[in-house]
Amino acid sequence: MKEFQQRVKQIECGIVLDHLDPYTNYKAQKILGIEQLPALVIRNYPSRTMNKKDVIKVEVETEEKLDKLLKTIRKNESKIALLSKNCTLTVIREGKVAEKHKAMDKLKEALQENDTIERVFKCTNYNCVSNQEKDGEAKFKVTIKNGEYKASCKYCDQAMTEQEIKDNII
């Protein structure tokens, strides 16, 4: 592992998404709208805490581009937390860690204010009104207990497991 780390260039200005569940990197990039940006993607890499993980490193040229990227990421951070609850976001400025936090912590903060999440994933009930309308706004009550999360649809009361939520993130 140490030999590989020495070959990966340190970034000066950008973000690192670390501890993504294995093979979730593409979905994470798509959720964040960064799939077109140059990025170093490390897939199924050995991890002491998770056995295997994915990592995404995105370097940008300027602080303004980084701020724009962070605005997009922050808007979709709940989706990343639901996709991969161990994910950490590290912001790098001038080659140093400027900020680091777990995506799940941001989701928990949001749920303390309001336990409802909107337009993050779709209901698994095909007949739910939120799936039938063109611009149906799916709303879910989300609970987190012992590190596991569950959701129930506000319209049809359909219960969803953690895996069903991951599979239906929009």
Domain shared by 83 and 150, yes or no: no
Give CA separation, 64 vs 71, 89, 91, 93, 128, in Å.
11, 18, 13, 11, 42
- Identify the domain containing residue 98 by its residue range: 2-106
Please check the confidence at residue 6 and state whether its pLDDT lies above 70: no
Please tell me the total count of domains within the chain: 2
State the Cα–Cα distance between residues 137 and 94, nearest whole angstrom: 40
95, 119: one domain: no
pLDDT band at 134 (very low <50, low <70, confident <90, very high): low
Question: Of 106, 127, 151, at which residue does a domain stop?
Answer: 106
- Domain match, 82 and 159 both: no
Say yes or no: 76 and 157 in one domain: no
14 and 69 share one domain:
yes
Cα atoms in the Cβ-side hemisphere of radius 13 Å centred on 59: 11
| 143, 101: one domain | no
Separation of alpha carbons 165 and 170, rounded Å: 10
Residue 135: per-residue pLDDT: 65
Distance separating alpha carbons of residues 86 and 60, to the nearest angstrom? 24
Q: Which of 106, 128, 144 represents a domain boundary (last residue)? A: 106
Domain containing 162 — which CATH number?
2.30.30.20
Higher-confidence residue of 170 and 88: namely 88
Q: Please tell me whether residue 123 adopts helix, strand or coil conformation.
A: coil
50: exposed, middle or buried (C-beta count within 10 Å: 0-12, 13-18, 19+)? middle
Tell me: do 129 and 102 sit in the same domain: no
CB crowding 99-127: b at 16 or more within 10 Å, else e = eeeebbebbeebbeeeeebeebbbbbbee
Helix (H) or strand (E) holding 1: none
The pTM for the full model equals 0.82
- Summarize the confidence of residues 26-37 as an average pLDDT: 89
Query: Are residue 15 and residue 92 in the same domain, yes or no?
Result: yes
Q: How confident is the model at residue 98 (pLDDT cuts 50, 70, 90)?
A: very high
61 and 98 assigned to the same domain: yes
What's the mean per-residue pLDDT of the chain?
88
50-90 pLDDT, tens digit each: 899 999 999 999 999 999 999 988 888 888 988 998 999 99
Q: Which of 106, 123, 140 delimits the end of a domain?
A: 106
* pLDDT category of residue 2 using cuts at 50, 70 and 90: low
For residue 63, the domain's CATH number is: 3.30.70.140
Round the CA-based radius of gyration of the chain to a whole number and report it: 17
Tens of pLDDT, residues 152-169: 999 999 999 989 998 888
Quote the CA–CA distance of 67 and 74 in Å, as a whole number: 10
